[in-house]
Copies of this chain bind each other. A is one copy, B any other.
Amino acid sequence: MLTDTDSRRHHPHAKSKTEIEKLRIRLGEEQRLCRELGIPTVIAFAGFSAAGKGYVVGDLGQALDPRGFTVHTIQDPTPDEELRPPFWRFWTKQPENGRIGIFIRSWYSSLFGRAKGYRSPRERVDLCTRINIFERQLADSGCVMQKYYLHVSRKEQEKRFKALEKNPDTSWRITKDDWRQLKDYDNLLALSDEVLMATDKPQSPWIVLPADDLRSSSLFLMETLAERMQTARRERAPRSTAKSPKTAKPKAAPAASGSALARADLKQSLSRKVYDRDLERLQDRIRILQHRAYRKRLPVAIVYEGWDAAGKGGNIRRLVRTLDPRGYDVIPFAAPTDVEKRHHYLWRFWINAPRSGHIAIFDRSWYGRVLVEHVEGFCTPADYERAFTEIREMEKEWTDSGVLLIKFWLHISPEEQLRRFQAREKIAYKKWKITDEDWRNRKKWDAYAVAVDRMIRETSTPSAPWTIIEGDCKFHARVKALKTVVEGMEGRL
């Protein structure tokens, strides 16, 4: 427990200059070895104003190769950041494999010290829960994480405020807010304590540093960090995410009759006449809804998944036809780029999280993890099993922050797919749409069907349900998708 007077309690022993130099070399070595193994490291710093975060991070920076780390100082969200789900700004800043991300204040910024007002107890518990999920997700993907809390006594803090204020080069750093918080020291200390306890996890532990003696704390930091990086490095089982075929191959049983796909009635169709009429009506309607969504700052995310040749492209075109192009984005996803591969698999979707007032259309999505990556064995069975939880968690973060999330599975029969493949090969300007890979995927239809059924079962939640679009008749599919979006938006505007 933190108390006003214990800030020297963990005092490490003074070290000789040689020992310090050895420690620096050791930490530099750990950094290099982690880089070689492609292990990302996250180091978060928290503590009251003037507790010395800048000092210890500066010291740490001297031991590390400056080319291998980035320091992020987290303040209140910028206007751009406020348009996105709250964790967006932390996901976008995650270090790529082999690099170190140093976060001053980090995702805890509104829980300790300088926050704009204090949050309610309920909000605090909620945020701690979400932080725990976030940190577990990062740790599960192989990220080393360590958090340092700089604990400063009231007396020492006051002394530092005065010193900073006296110096004309640093006086701007101390605000009225800081003095106000100093008065409230005891209360803030108790709140900090609560947060430390709620978020101290084996994969992302807190270490309290006595900030009254920064020099010793700084050495203690380096020692514990080197220790942690070494342990993580040694424990790291050789991960074979890339191409471990067969391991993840599901039994190729056809979709069970009780499954979502089996229940879909692919005979549903629309005549040209009804289609033209409905489409026009819905397109007029969605344009109006888009204006309203913009004014009311509603973020919308629409996910398109489906069989090859199910008609995703044409469906998306009809959806956006009357939309103001300034208010939507279609974001296609194929195999990850090398930069994307050096991050958590959800990273590339997080950085594209919808903005308030805008519509983000995902042409393929994070569900690739439980579809192609799983069926082709590009991820391990453990990655696959974990993915359902991870996806539900990400979607919950989005929808809790106000995102309207709509997910489509464009469903067609294998017979219809064959007809379309053959047709594409015949029409000159459509021929490019069909590749050898499409034919190869087709052979795995049953394995995919099992994967799709499980995906729909595991990731249909009240706030993020799947809608199956029966696609043998394109007219029906386009009208149904548009109608689902219109109804979804109407429910929120």
Contact = CB atoms under 8 A, between A and B. Distances in A.
Interface of A: 25, 28-29, 32, 36, 54, 57-58, 60-62, 65-68, 70-71, 73, 78-80, 102, 104, 169-170, 172, 288, 291-292, 295, 313, 316-317, 320-326, 329-330, 332, 337-339, 361, 363, 429, 432
Contact of A338 (B25, B324, B338): B338
A283 to B, nearest CB: 11
A58 B338 contact: no
Given A32-B432, A66-B316, A169-B291, 17 more contacts: A28-B429, A54-B325, A62-B317, A62-B320, A65-B313, A66-B330, A67-B313, A67-B332, A68-B332, A71-B329, A73-B326, A78-B79, A169-B288, A170-B291, A337-B337, A337-B338, A337-B339
Contact of A25 (B323, B363, B429): B429
B429 A330 contact: no
3 smallest A-B Cβ distances: which pairs? Answer: A67-B332, A66-B330, A73-B326
B295 A326 contact: no
Contacts of A321: 58, 61-62
A71 B358 CA distance: 12
27 contacts: A25-B429, A29-B429, A32-B432, A36-B432, A54-B326, A57-B326, A58-B321, A58-B322, A58-B323, A58-B325, A65-B313, A65-B317, A66-B330, A67-B313, A67-B363, A71-B326, A78-B78, A78-B79, A78-B80, A80-B80, A102-B325, A169-B288, A170-B291, A337-B337, A337-B338, A337-B339, A338-B339
Contacts of A58: 321-325
Contacts of A332: 67-68
A342 to B, nearest CB: 9
Contacts of A361: 66
**Prevailing SS type, chain A contact patch:** helix
Query: Which interface residue of A29, A58, A68 has the most chain B CB atoms within 10 A?
Result: A58
Given A291-B169, A317-B62, A325 B71 contact: yes
Nearest to A329: B70
Nearest to A364: B67
Nearest to A170: B291
A313 B67 CA distance: 8
A27 B330 CA distance: 18
A25 to B, nearest CB: 6
Contacts of A102: 325
Contacts of A339: 337-339
A356 to B, nearest CB: 14
A324 B295 CA distance: 41
Contacts of A429: 25, 28-29
Contact of A292 (B78, B79, B169, B337): B169
A353 to B, nearest CB: 16
A206 B288 CA distance: 32
